[in-house]
């Protein structure tokens, strides 16, 4: 297995907090499981911004950007029982990852006004 893509993104938390006031934006960008996760968390604005950054970073790692190969809500960033983030794909994003036999790794952070994500795609070059 080799690294086939790397992406990173930085998002201002306040910008995402304002955008999230639109239910249309939230429904278009975040999947159902993500929206449930946000509702359970005290630091939802930070998480929302970090998840958005992860979607952007994923698109950069693919080399296509966002919304060309997949819809944003098809790339969900969830947390395991220990709080570690991971991707859950559906639709075209899932098909793309399965077809290429790639695995995605994500790391998130937030501090002060910003949230950031780093994504590594692992697999074989095609």
Bridging pattern class, strands 114-123 and 103-111 = antiparallel
Predicted pLDDT at 13: 97
Per CATH, the number for 2-123 is 3.90.470.20
Of 122, 124, 126, 125, which is closest to residue 3 (Cα–Cα)? Answer: 122
From CA 115, how far away is CA 45, in angstroms rounded? 10
Per-residue pLDDT of the chain (126 residues; tens, 9 = 90+): 899 999 999 999 999 999 999 999 999 999 999 999 998 877 689 999 999 999 999 999 998 777 678 899 999 999 999 999 999 999 999 999 999 999 999 999 999 999 999 999 999 876
Residue 126's pLDDT is what? 65
Beta pairing partners, 76 = 88
The pTM for the full model equals 0.93
Which pLDDT belongs to residue 43?
67
H-state helical runs in the chain: 13-19, 23-29, 32-40, 44-62, 91-100
SS3 124: coil
């Amino acid at each position: 297995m080799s690294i086939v893509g790397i992406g990173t993104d930085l998002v201002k938390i306040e910008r995402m907090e304002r955008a999230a006031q639109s239910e249309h934006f939230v429904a278009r960008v975040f999947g159902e499981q993500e929206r449930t996760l946000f509702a359970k968390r005290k630091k939802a604005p930070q998480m929302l911004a970090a998840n958005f950054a992860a979607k952007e970073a994923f698109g950069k790692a693919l080399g296509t950007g966002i919304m060309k190969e997949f819809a944003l809500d098809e790339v969900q960033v969830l947390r395991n029982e220990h709080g570690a983030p991971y991707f859950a794909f559906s639709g075209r994003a899932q098909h793309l990852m399965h077809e290429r036999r790639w695995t995605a790794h994500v790391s998130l952070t937030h501090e002060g006004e910003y949230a950031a994500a780093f994504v590594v795609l692992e697999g074989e070059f095609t």
